[in-house]
Amino acid sequence: QVRLVESGGGLVQPGGSLRLSCAASGIVFRTFDMDWYRQAPGNQRELVATISTAGNTNYADSVKGRFTTSRDNAKNTLYLQMNSLKPEDTAVYYCHTKNRIDYWGQGTQVTVSS
């Protein structure tokens, strides 16, 4: 059974930082490309960052230079380091991977507000 569990969300002031984690189980983690998505109220879910099995990364233009994704294959864990946070980064953040079907975590809320 594939399970993705996000953690690390919370309330942070504009300009602050958070690090999200996604613990994976039920998959051979090192063989899966992984993604971070986010969904703000009233908006569609959008792709934020991707990391390949080789560690190659891509980012949405809106977070480029501020967010960094990484992975620790020994710990079966995906990370998203978020710096210089803005109110428009407020959303539920989801971990995602795909084989023949999509696998999603339950999401973690990030709120950027003063």
- Residue 23 confidence (pLDDT): 98
pLDDT tens column, 56-87: 999 999 999 999 999 999 999 999 999 999 99
CA separation for the pair 57, 35 (Å, rounded) = 9
- Confidence at 6, pLDDT banded by 50, 70, 90: very high
Residue 47: strand, helix, or coil = strand
Count CB neighbours of 76 within 10 A.
17
- Residue 83 confidence (pLDDT): 98
- Residue 20 confidence (pLDDT): 98
- Residue 11 confidence (pLDDT): 98
pLDDT tens column, 19-47: 999 999 999 999 999 999 999 999 999 99
- Residue 109 confidence (pLDDT): 98
